């Protein structure tokens, strides 16, 4: 029973409650007391899948989880799990459809075509899922007198993976030391590189471990933060400043947008824990029972499916590997600021009043307030309450840079109410990197179990689509004048590309879509990748931080410290996954944008001076360096999406909504997991599912 409950959680489903869609499918057919039995069946099917995710779960095996009276429900459940991509997804081998001879298509039968624009993770996920779904529902197409639809991917670049790009190195090191060097393949990650929450819930985990069998390396977050003079910062002092930073965020979180929790129809926890069925069947269906007591609750929107019941999430700590803020259910700090400062370990300035307030209400009610303006206000007020040294300011701004890293933009470009719209959706488990390159996941999706049809160097210039639900075809034209006709189009071009508007849509996209495109943020995180002959840093640590000086060294003005905070603030030792002594420095916040305009030489020089400040004057120049400029990349125009100040709560959902035969996927279309590879993957599954629903 525990394994079944775990399987549901690992599949991002509540083991004890119906998903809103399950509720809608089942409310006419089962009673409240039967929910437990149904959940036991559903969780058991998920367990079969996760035990061997390289082999598909057959309908027969799924129905075998139920007794005869529940076969129909198990069938409904199986279809739902397959079509929504909870089972049988990814690089899974599916049996060939066994279809009676009379039903097999003959030449000349209709064959639909689906064109997926973009071979990033979302596009590949969508295409792979469509292929799998079409195979599993082959009979339905044959029944309609059609052949199984075909799927083509149109990609502008000459490679797959999009913003997951593991660049190969052919660095000439000293051959006498490493005779096998030239025979080995060395890669470093230019884009996405960390798989977060690897143990549970992350579908990329299933691909990497369960299907492609790729080697991976767990990361640890232990870090040394070096001050601007190269000396390690006292961890006690860092902890003190981090608490103050968290307190600012916690107080600001009071002004967050609070989504309504979805109504959950729960099973009996005790019986589910034991894996038993409910004893009583109950007589009234869920719908009848609800109609008898109250009006039917509104269907919760799918985007809210992961919002936990306790919607008050407050920031408690930050993840140094990803910059993400960890949240916990609770209420924002209500203690008086002076009392809280003392609790955190700070001594108050002499004469400081017990009633000292941060006056955040005033700050946030100001026109144009952002997360950045509120946090700046918080630290500036704290300065009047406790003695903050220049090092404290450097530390505080290092933590801010860390948050700017996870959002790929300056805190001043983030909405005060919505900046962590995805809070509460983090998964458990280590953060991990794929040894030899994350792009292997994209290549795996392309090739396994059978190659997908992809046209590279097909830079889409225009998309003509049909904006009604009555069919009609689409025409996609490349910059070279090549046209592709399709019945459905899935657009996975990044938000940065959509914002730029160089790809035309006919008819033009409606205002609700262009509004969301304009309002959402799309920022830049860049990387400076440095390869060396030998390691001169602590080989046992995966990261180290470096504090940056203010423009005026002794300043205690927050603004002075904010200017350089994101420049080379965090360093990843990626030697284990790259196969060479290699460091990757992050350029976050304003620094990400500045990197676009800086020369390689100046950046390598700055990096070398910083490293010499920390590790001594003998630090050599790198033997190889690569600097990313994602903002100038014409197929990305930035790194990932963010919650910009003017955005509306449902903008990510609007990005996801299809228009006639034009569907959308990509990290910018999934409000529960934006800006991530796993989000991109899940968005691809969603688009595939919508297309199948539209056809069958």
List of residues contacting ligand KWM (CB under 6 A): 117-123, 154-157, 162-164, 191-194, 322, 324, 406, 458-460, 492-494, 497, 503, 525, 527, 630, 635-636, 639-640, 666-667, 675-677, 680
Find the shortest distance in angstroms from Cβ 599 to ligand KWM. 19
Specify the residue, 33 or 202, whose C-beta has the smaller distance to ligand KWM. Answer: 202
Shortest distance, CB of residue 437 to ligand KWM, whole angstroms?
13
Helix (H, G, I), strand (E, B) or coil at 72: helix
**DSSP-based three-state secondary structure for 587:** strand
Across the beta sheet with 453-455, the strand order is: 453-455, 150-154, 113-117, 488-491, 662-664
Least Cβ distance, residue 403 to ligand KWM (angstroms): 10
Name the residue nearer to ligand KWM (CB basis): 50 or 194: 194
Q: Is 139 helix (H, G, I), strand (E, B) or coil?
A: helix
Nearest to ligand KWM of 502, 556 (CB atom): 502
Q: Residue written as tokens 């801010």?
A: 400
Sign of CA dihedral 562, 564, 567, 569: negative
Nearest approach, Cβ of 463 to ligand KWM (angstroms)?
9
Instruction: Enumerate the β-bridge partners of residue 462.
Output: 477, 504
Whichever of 581 and 592 has its CB closer to ligand KWM, that residue is 592
Beta strands 543-546 and 223-226 are parallel
Q: Which residue, 122 or 136, is less far from ligand KWM as judged by CB? A: 122
> Smallest distance, Å, CB 585 to ligand KWM?
12
**Distances in whole angstroms, Cα of residue 409 to Cα of each of 171, 190, 215, 519, 594:** 32, 18, 32, 15, 11
Locus of tokens 């058991």:
44
CB of 303 to ligand KWM, least distance (A): 17
Of the two residues 143 and 506, which places its CB atom closer to ligand KWM in the complex? Answer: 506
Nearer to ligand KWM, 262 or 641 (CB): 641
- Class of residue 101 by CB neighbours under 10 A (exposed 0-12, middle 13-18, buried 19+): exposed
Whether residue 590 contacts residue 563, with contact meaning beta carbons closer than 8 Å, is answered with: yes
Looking at the Cβ atoms of 41 and 127, the one nearer to ligand KWM is 127
Quote the least distance from Cβ 127 to ligand KWM, whole Å: 11
Q: Please report the DSSP string for 377-401 in residue order.
A: HHHHHHHHHB---HHHHHHHHHHHH
Could you tell me where the DSSP H helices lie in 186-336? 203-205, 235-252, 269-274, 286-293
CB of 169 to ligand KWM, least distance (A): 18
- Closer CB to ligand KWM, 482 or 623, in the complex: 482
* 45 versus 121: smaller Cβ distance to ligand KWM: 121
Q: Note the residue count of the chain.
A: 696
Closest approach of ligand KWM to the CB of residue 46, in Å: 23
Closer by beta carbon to ligand KWM, 346 or else 458: 458
Residue of 538, 616, 537, 548 lying closest to 227 (CA atoms): 548
Q: Return the DSSP state at 661.
A: T
How many C-beta neighbours within 10 Å does residue 549 have? 17
CB of 499 to ligand KWM, least distance (A): 12
Ranges of H-type helices in 490-586: 495-500, 511-519, 558-562, 575-578
3-state SS, residue 431: strand
Can you tell me the distance from the alpha carbon of 674 to that of 407, in angstroms, rounded to the nearest whole number? 10
Q: How far is the CB of 690 from ligand KWM (least distance, A)?
A: 16
């Amino acid at each position: 029973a525990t394994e079944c409950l775990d399987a549901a959680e690992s599949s991002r489903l509540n083991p004890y409650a119906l998903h809103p869609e399950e509720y809608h499918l089942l409310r006419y057919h089962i009673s409240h007391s039967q929910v437990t039995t149904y959940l036991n069946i559903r969780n058991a099917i998920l367990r079969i899948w996760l035990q061997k995710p390289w082999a598909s779960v057959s309908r027969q095996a799924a129905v075998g989880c139920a007794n005869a009276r529940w076969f129909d429900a198990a069938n409904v459940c199986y279809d739902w799990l397959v079509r929504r991509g909870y089972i049988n997804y990814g690089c899974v081998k599916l049996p060939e459809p066994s279809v009676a001879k009379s039903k097999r298509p003959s030449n000349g039968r209709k064959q639909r075509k689906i064109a997926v624009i973009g071979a990033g993770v979302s596009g590949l996920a969508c295409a792979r899922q469509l292929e799998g779904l079409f195979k599993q529902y082959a009979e339905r197409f044959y029944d309609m007198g059609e052949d199984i639809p075909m799927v083509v991917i149109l990609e502008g670049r000459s490679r797959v993976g999009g913003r997951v790009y593991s660049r190969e190195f052919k660095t000439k090191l000293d051959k006498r030391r490493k005779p096998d060097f030239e025979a080995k393949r060395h890669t470093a990650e230019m884009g996405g590189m960390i798989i977060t929450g690897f143990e549970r819930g992350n579908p990329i985990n299933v691909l990497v471990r369960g299907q492609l069998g790729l080697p991976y390396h767990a990361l640890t977050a232990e870090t040394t933060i070096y001050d601007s003079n190269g000396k390690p910062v006292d961890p006690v002092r860092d902890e003190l400043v981090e608490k103050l930073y968290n307190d600012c965020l916690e107080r600001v979180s009071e002004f967050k947008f609070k989504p309504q929790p979805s109504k959950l129809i729960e099973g009996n926890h005790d019986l589910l824990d034991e894996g038993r069925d409910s004893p009583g069947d109950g007589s009234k269906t869920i719908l009848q029972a609800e109609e008898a007591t109250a009006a039917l609750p509104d269907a919760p929107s799918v985007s809210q499916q992961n919002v936990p019941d306790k919607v008050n999430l407050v920031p408690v700590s930050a993840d140094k590997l990803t910059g993400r803020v960890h949240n916990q259910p609770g209420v924002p700090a209500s203690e008086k600021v002076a009392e809280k400062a003392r609790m955190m370990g700070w001594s108050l300035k002499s004469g400081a009043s017990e009633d000292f307030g941060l006056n955040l209400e005033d700050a946030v009610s100001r026109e144009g307030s952002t997360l950045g303006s509120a946090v700046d206000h918080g630290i500036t007020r704290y300065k009047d309450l406790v003695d903050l040294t220049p090092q404290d300011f450097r530390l505080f701004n290092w933590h801010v840079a860390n948050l700017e890293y996870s959002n790929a933009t300056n805190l001043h470009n983030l909405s005060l109410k919505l900046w962590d719209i995805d809070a509460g959706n983090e998964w458990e488990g280590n953060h991990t990197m794929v040894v030899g390159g994350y792009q292997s996941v994209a290549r795996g999706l392309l090739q396994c179990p059978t190659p997908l049809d992809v046209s590279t160097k097909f830079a889409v210039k225009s998309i003509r689509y049909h904006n009604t639900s009555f069919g009609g075809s689409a025409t996609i034209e490349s910059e070279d004048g090549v046209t592709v006709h399709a019945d459905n189009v899935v657009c996975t071009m990044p938000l940065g590309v959509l914002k730029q508007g160089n790809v035309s849509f006919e008819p033009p996209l409606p205002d609700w879509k262009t509004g969301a495109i304009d309002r959402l943020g799309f920022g830049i995180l860049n990387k400076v990748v440095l390869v060396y002959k030998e390691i001169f840093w602590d080989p046992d640590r995966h990261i180290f931080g470096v504090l940056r000086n203010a423009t005026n060294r002794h300043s205690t003005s927050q603004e002075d410290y904010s200017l350089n905070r994101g420049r080379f603030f965090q360093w990843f030792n990626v030697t284990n996954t790259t196969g060479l002594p290699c460091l990757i420095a992050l350029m976050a916040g304003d620094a990400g944008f500045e990197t676009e305009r800086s020369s390689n030489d100046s950046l390598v020089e700055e990096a070398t001076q910083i490293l010499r400040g920390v590790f001594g004057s003998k630090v050599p120049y790198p033997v190889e360096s690569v600097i990313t400029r994602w903002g100038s990349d014409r197929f990305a125009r930035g790194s990932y999406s963010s919650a910009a100040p003017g955005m509306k709560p449902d903008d990510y959902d609007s990005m996801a909504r299809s228009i006639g035969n034009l569907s959308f996927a990509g990290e910018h279309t999934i409000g529960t997991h934006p800006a991530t590879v796993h989000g991109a993957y899940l968005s691809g599954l969603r688009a595939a599912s919508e297309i199948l629903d539209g056809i069958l």
